[in-house]
């Protein structure tokens, strides 16, 4: 984070009121890419893309662009944002984004009450997903945290020069662990930061109080810092234009899911007595409830022997087969008992022990962070990761489907 050389603005005593403001810093100068905030991605200036994205959110009350550049100001106003002129003292390349946010708040506080939540959005992140930003806003407004920011999951082995030569930063080079055995790490993307306004004013920076990460997809976290990034952004934009606007429906007559890595993010919490517990997603529970209400049978099929699997199934009111060594045999028997052909069944998995089931059913589905072997076996890849709403996404696609599945829609067709 660059140092803010400008003096901090002063604020009159004020109590923030309910509301959400977005501040988009957009200087006219930039070193890596000339006139960066006005460069085009998909034929649209970066600053205009950012404004369009945030204005689509119902909770956003106002969008302010902080700029020292008349051309950027004109583009911002035409895109629907309010413009706050940034003074020279905070327009250099050493000024922080926080200084722009603080200046906007100070300017507007003279004429209007400050909002409960202020959002810092970087125009140079052209692929911000509205649902990710909405999730971050909801987290702060509900009081789950004071700051929620975008980050992408990474699996990197970092190195640095140490006293004795190269040394591992986040790993022991002598004991290389598998990806799934390493702690989850995230890379801050810089796309957005949702902050409780009072905390920002008190601390003067974007990381204070209780922090939460909103995980975004890695490709969508692209930030424009170089000309090469711009070329890559155009490729990403072009690829997304060829995707269907809505994911394909899945007209399955029954749904079977694995447990670990599907209902959960594949991690366990263990206390000092060796007792394990897991985190599940409430939206997944609602998805299963909606399937059951629609008369669609649901089964949890797991090789795990942990009692938590049966406990979760009981909570959801669905059948469960746990500690299962032959998942395909159990799946086949259950489908027969339900009067559902395997070709009309959706199976949601994530790992190698799901391969036989994925290959046997008409609707093989995997979570976004599935193992490569499972990804190769399933033409239907969800947008959500395990434990993060993947089951709800599958439920929505099943419930919006037609009642009669079409043969040419099944295996072999790449679903989004």
Beta bridge partners of 85: 67
Confidence (pLDDT) at 407? 39
95 vs 7, more confident: 95
User: What's the CATH code, domain 254-409?
Assistant: 3.40.50.1000
Give me the percent of the chain exceeding a pLDDT of 70. Answer: 90
pTM for the structure as a whole: 0.56
**Residues 116 and 141 sit within 8 Å (Cβ to Cβ):** yes
User: How many CB atoms are closer than 10 A to CB 274?
Assistant: 6
CA–CA separation, 322 and 336 (whole Å)? 18
Residue 119 clears pLDDT 80, i.e. is over it: yes
Q: Lowest mean pLDDT of 131-145, 220-234, 345-359, name the range.
A: 220-234
Over residues 316-373, the pLDDT tens digits come to 999 999 999 999 999 999 999 999 999 999 999 999 999 999 999 989 999 988 888 8
Closest CA to 56 of 124, 137, 2, 111: 137
In the chain, which segments carry CATH 3.90.550.10? 17-241
User: How many CB atoms are closer than 10 A to CB 130?
Assistant: 12
CA–CA separation, 324 and 326 (whole Å)? 6
Residue 12 clears pLDDT 50, i.e. is over it: no
Structure-block tokens of residue 119: 């959002």
Confidence (pLDDT) at 56? 87
Structure-block tokens of residue 297: 């049978």
Confidence (pLDDT) at 181? 72
* DSSP secondary structure letters along 67-86: ES-HHHHHHHHHHT-EEEEP
Confidence (pLDDT) at 15? 57
Residue 409 clears pLDDT 70, i.e. is over it: no
Superfamily designation of domain 17-241: Spore Coat Polysaccharide Biosynthesis Protein SpsA; Chain A (3.90.550.10)
Structure-block tokens of residue 86: 């940034």
Strand order across the 319-321 sheet? 319-321, 298-301, 254-257, 345-349, 363-366, 380-381
In the chain, which segments carry CATH 3.40.50.1000? 254-409
CA–CA separation, 179 and 158 (whole Å)? 14
CA–CA separation, 202 and 197 (whole Å)? 9
**Residue 17: pLDDT band with limits 50, 70, 90:** low
33 vs 116, more confident: 116
Beta bridge partners of 63: 22
Q: Compute the C-alpha angle 264/410/369, nearest 5°.
A: 25
SS3 of 66, please? Answer: strand
Confidence (pLDDT) at 16? 64
Residues 6+ apart with CB under 8 A from 304: 259, 260, 322, 323
18 vs 34, more confident: 34
**Residues 24 and 66 sit within 8 Å (Cβ to Cβ):** yes
Average pLDDT, the chain: 85
Structure-block tokens of residue 304: 């795990």
Confidence (pLDDT) at 242? 58
């Amino acid at each position: 984070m660059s140092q803010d050389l400008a003096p901090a603005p002063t604020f009159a005593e004020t109590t923030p009121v309910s509301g959400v403001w977005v501040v988009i810093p957009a200087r006219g100068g930039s070193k890596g890419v000339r006139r960066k905030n006005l460069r085009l991605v998909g034929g649209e200036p970066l600053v205009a893309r950012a404004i369009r994205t945030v204005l689509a959110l119902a909770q956003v009350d106002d969008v302010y662009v902080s700029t020292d550049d008349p051309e950027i100001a004109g583009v911002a106003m035409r895109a629907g944002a309010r413009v706050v002129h940034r003074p020279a003292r905070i327009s250099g390349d050493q000024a922080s984004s926080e200084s722009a946010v603080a200046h906007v708040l100070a300017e507007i506080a003279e004429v209007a009450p400050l909002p409960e939540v202020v959002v810092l959005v970087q125009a140079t992140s052209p692929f911000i997903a509205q649902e990710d930003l909405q999730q971050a806003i909801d987290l702060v407004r509900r009081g789950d945290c004071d700051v929620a920011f975008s980050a992408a999951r990474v699996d990197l082995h970092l190195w640095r020069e140490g006293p004795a030569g190269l040394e591992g930063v986040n790993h022991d080079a002598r004991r290389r662990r598998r990806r799934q055995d390493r702690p989850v790490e995230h890379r801050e993307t810089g796309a957005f930061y949702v902050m409780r306004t009072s905390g920002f004013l008190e601390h003067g920076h974007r990381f204070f109080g209780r922090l939460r990460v909103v995980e975004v997809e890695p490709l969508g976290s692209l930030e424009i810092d170089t000309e090469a990034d711009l070329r890559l952004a155009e490729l990403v934009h072009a690829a997304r234009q060829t995707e269907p606007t809505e994911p394909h429906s899945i007209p399955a007559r029954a749904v079977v899911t694995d447990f670990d890595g599907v209902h959960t993010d594949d991690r366990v919490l263990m206390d000092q007595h060796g007792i394990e517990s897991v985190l599940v997603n409430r939206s997944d529970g609602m998805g299963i409830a909606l399937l059951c209400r629609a008369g669609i049978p649901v089964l949890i099929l797991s090789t795990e022997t942990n009692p938590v699997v049966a406990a979760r199934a009981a909570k959801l009111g669905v059948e469960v087969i746990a500690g299962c060594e032959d998942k395909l045999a159990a799946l086949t028997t259950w489908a027969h008992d339900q009067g559902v052909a395997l070709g009309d069944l959706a199976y949601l998995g994530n790992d190698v022990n799901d391969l036989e089931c994925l290959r046997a059913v008409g609707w093989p589905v995997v979570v976004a962070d599935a193992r490569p072997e499972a990804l190769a076996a399933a033409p239907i890849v969800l947008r959500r990761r395990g434990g993060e709403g993947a089951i709800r996404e599958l439920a929505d696609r099943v419930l919006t489907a037609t009642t009669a599945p079409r043969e040419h829609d099944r295996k072999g067709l790449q679903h989004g």
